[in-house]
Amino acid sequence: MRVLNIHERALNTSEQLAGEVLDSLAGPDDRLWPGDRWPRMEFDSPLGIGARGGHGPVRYTVQDYVPGRKVVFQFALAGLANGLEGRHWFEIVPTPETTVFRHVIDAECGFVMWLKWAFLIRPLHDALLEDAFDKVELDLHGRLQRPSSWSLWVRTLRKLVAGRPVKRT
């Protein structure tokens, strides 16, 4: 079964400034990943082809990296992503009016993994990505036009995973 998940945020910024945010991913001054609310993205080496790591129980390897434009990750057949065969990536897409931050998951999986994706992983993933794009928008614009919010299901899953309530500010 196919898993295709796309998140986008159009921002009034230059491709260069958006690319700088992308290039900070998993670094000491990460301007993209919401590590204050979610497990940090970490790698065994600086962001670049071949770096291995992930976030929390989701493991992957950097398959391709075009600074300022795109970073592609190949899922590892381990951890929470075990059974998800494919890739996910962040990319910067310039348009005539805006610059779009995009994240895509494109993978194949069996039925059991698809169920795990649909009911457990996807809701958390979607909330994480919207928090990431909120962080980017706040960084580049100094304000949020429409802050994202966590659904009751996401708050419940986070509580179950953490074993305690999680505050979201």
Q: Which two tokens stand for residue 46?
A: 């600086």
**What value does the mean pLDDT take over residues 34-39?**
96
Q: pTM of the full predicted structure?
A: 0.92
Q: Residue 107 in contact with residue 87, Cβ under 8 Å?
A: yes
pLDDT at res. 161: 81
Residue 15: how many other CB atoms lie within 10 Å: 15
pLDDT of 78? 87
pLDDT at 163: 64
Percent pLDDT > 90 in the chain is: 91
Q: To the nearest whole number, what is the mean pLDDT of the chain?
A: 94
The 10s digit of each residue's pLDDT in 139-153 is: 999 999 999 999 999
C-alpha dist (Å) from residue 164 to 35, 77, 133, 159, 160: 18, 29, 26, 5, 7
Residues 6+ apart with CB under 8 A from 115: none
Q: Is 107 exposed, middle or buried (0-12, 13-18, 19+ CB in 10 A)?
A: buried
CATH architecture of 2-162: 2-Layer Sandwich (3.30)
The pLDDT of residue 167 is above 90? no
Over residues 45-53, the mean pLDDT reads 97
